[in-house]
């Protein structure tokens, strides 16, 4: 398994090697990334899977993995997800992580994250307070959002690294 911490750190608990400890102190990785890395390693071992990073907001944890890795991480019948949810005490969603370059990637990210609600598009909004992204969701799908509107905005903003708002059309 490929993770943001090294193989030695995947297999240990509590302490990190100096290199990974520095990544944590510098904010390159978070406590949550370390925790999820170790939990996934216990579940997946040496499987050909990449864990990229995790973000949380409200009662939701979003785990970002490599291309095509989602089914393996979820596990048969969702067994891995169920274990993670029990240990974390939160809801868990697994999506493909991708490098955000602009609205195309934000649209793909929002489509995966907000499913089964449909994403119509993503706009860039230029406001006096700065630029933000507006994810447009079909109004009739409002009830299909997988978590609270604010929680999802928070998660999207953390992943994108700038403000993201959800708007219904
Ligand atoms: Zn390490």
Taking the chain, what is the end-to-end CA distance rounded to the nearest angstrom? Answer: 41
Does residue 1 fall inside a structural domain?
no
Residue 13 is predicted with a pLDDT of: 87
Same domain for 34 and 12? yes
For residue 73, report the distance from its CA to the centre of ligand 1, in Å: 22
Does residue 147 fall inside a structural domain?
yes
CB 115 within 8 A of CB 93: no
For residue 39, report the distance from its CA to the centre of ligand 1, in Å: 15
Same domain for 150 and 117? yes
For residue 41, report the distance from its CA to the centre of ligand 1, in Å: 14
Mean of pLDDT over the chain: 96
Residue identified by tokens 């490929």 is 2
By residue range, what is the domain housing residue 47? 7-96
For residue 63, report the distance from its CA to the centre of ligand 1, in Å: 20
Q: Is omega for the bond preceding 116 within 30 degrees of 0, making it cis? A: yes
Same domain for 119 and 92? no
For residue 67, report the distance from its CA to the centre of ligand 1, in Å: 24
Same domain for 126 and 74? no
Same domain for 121 and 42? no
CB 158 within 8 A of CB 55: yes
For residue 30, report the distance from its CA to the centre of ligand 1, in Å: 14
CA distances from 33 to 90, 114, 165 (A): 15, 22, 25
CATH code for the domain in which residue 52 is found: 3.30.300.20
For residue 149, report the distance from its CA to the centre of ligand 1, in Å: 36
Same domain for 124 and 66? no
State the total domains in the chain. 2
For residue 92, report the distance from its CA to the centre of ligand 1, in Å: 25
**Where does the chain show beta strands of DSSP type E?**
51-57, 60-65, 91-96, 119-127, 130-137, 164-168
Residue 112 is predicted with a pLDDT of: 95
Question: Tell me: the pLDDT tens digits for 89-103?
Answer: 999 999 999 999 999
Question: Tell me: the pLDDT tens digits for 106-135?
Answer: 999 999 999 999 999 999 999 998 899 999
Same domain for 115 and 88? no
Same domain for 128 and 63? no
Does residue 120 fall inside a structural domain?
yes
* Mean of pLDDT values over 63-71: 97
DSSP, residue by residue, 81-108: HHHHHHHHTSEEEEEE-----SHHHHHH
For residue 3, report the distance from its CA to the centre of ligand 1, in Å: 10
């Amino acid at each position: 398994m490929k993770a943001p911490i090294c193989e030695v750190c995947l297999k240990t608990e509590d302490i990190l090697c100096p290199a990974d400890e520095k990544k944590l102190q510098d904010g390159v990785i978070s406590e949550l990334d370390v925790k999820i890395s170790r939990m996934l390693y216990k579940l997946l071992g040496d499987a050909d899977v990449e864990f990229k990073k995790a973000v949380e907001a409200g009662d939701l944890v979003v785990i970002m993995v490599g291309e095509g890795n989602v089914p393996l991480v979820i596990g048969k019948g969702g067994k891995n997800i169920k274990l993670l949810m029990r240990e974390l005490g939160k809801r868990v969603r697994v999506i493909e992580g991708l490098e955000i370059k602009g609205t195309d990637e934000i649209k793909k990210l929002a489509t995966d994250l907000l499913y089964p609600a449909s994403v119509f598009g993503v706009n860039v909004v230029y406001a006096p307070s700065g630029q933000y992204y507006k994810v447009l969701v079909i109004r009739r799908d409002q009830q299909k959002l997988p978590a609270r509107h604010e929680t999802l905005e928070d998660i999207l903003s953390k992943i994108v690294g700038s403000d993201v708002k959800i708007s219904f059309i």
